[in-house]
Amino acid sequence: VRLLLVSGSTRRGSTNGAALRAAQELVPPGTETVLHDRLGELPQFDPDADHEPLPPLVTELRAEIARADAVLFCTPEYAGTLPGSFKNTIDWLVGSGELYRTPAAWINVGNPGRGAGAEAALATVLGYVDADVVQQACVRIPVGRDAVGPDGTVEDADVRARLASVLGAVAEHVRSLTDRP
């Protein structure tokens, strides 16, 4: 099972990025992860530019999603919704369709009670592109800034156990699709 991990934060010391780096250390057997962390380098989406030759990073992003069995998003909330650079990434995938029927889930690492706007926006955009949202893997796992270690990951045992359980749920969902007769 190949999981693509996408952080919605471009910030150094990001809690969202740290959660995904920790997740990379916690994959169940038979699962591999790729972290897409070049959100901030993608050009601004423009329908007039959405044709060959595409910006190389757009081609790379689309290929990464097409290769992935599932995508796990972890994004902060900005101004009650998704960060612009994250939404820009999704916009590059609307017409090309790589997320269509692709299993997808998100983790909200915001403080308790925060991030509901980002969750609602994720549900909207992933519904719009007809992704296969794995509801049981869409969870809140608060990660404070002080939980991010010097290596940019998270050591907290409870957080790590919950991340491992999300990865397990996504991998199990992917397998349930391929095991179908």
Ligand X SMILES: Cc1cc2nc3c(=O)[nH]c(=O)nc-3n(C[C@H](O)[C@H](O)[C@H](O)COP(=O)(O)O)c2cc1C
| 12/180 with CB nearer ligand X | 12
| 58/118 with CB nearer ligand X | 118
Options 38, 62, 78, 133; binder of ligand X; rule CB under 6 A: 78
The counts of H helices and E strands in the chain are 5, 6
- Please report how close the Cβ of residue 7 comes to ligand X at its closest, in angstroms: 7
Q: Give me the 26-65 binding string for ligand X, x by CB under 6 A, dash otherwise.
A: ----------------------------------------
**How is the chain split among helix, strand and coil, in percent rounded to 5?**
45, 15, 40
Largest CA distance in the chain: 47
Contact between 15 and ligand X by CB under 6 A: the answer reads yes
Options 20, 76, 86, 141; binder of ligand X; rule CB under 6 A: 76
Residue 72: its H or E element: strand 70-74
| Measured torsion, CA atoms of residues 19, 37, 145, 171, in degrees rounded to the nearest 10 | -10
Contact between 112 and ligand X by CB under 6 A: the answer reads no
What is the bridge-based pairing of β-strands 70-74 and 103-108? parallel
What residues form DSSP beta bridges with 139?
Answer: 107
- Please report how close the Cβ of residue 69 comes to ligand X at its closest, in angstroms: 25
- Please report how close the Cβ of residue 117 comes to ligand X at its closest, in angstroms: 6
**CB 90, CB 36: distance < 8 Å:** no
Which of these segments, 26-34, 59-67, 78-86, 156-164, binds ligand X (CB under 6 A)? Answer: 78-86
Q: Which residue's structure tokens are 């156990």?
A: 161
Binding site for ligand X (CB under 6 A): 9, 11, 14-17, 76-80, 110, 114-115
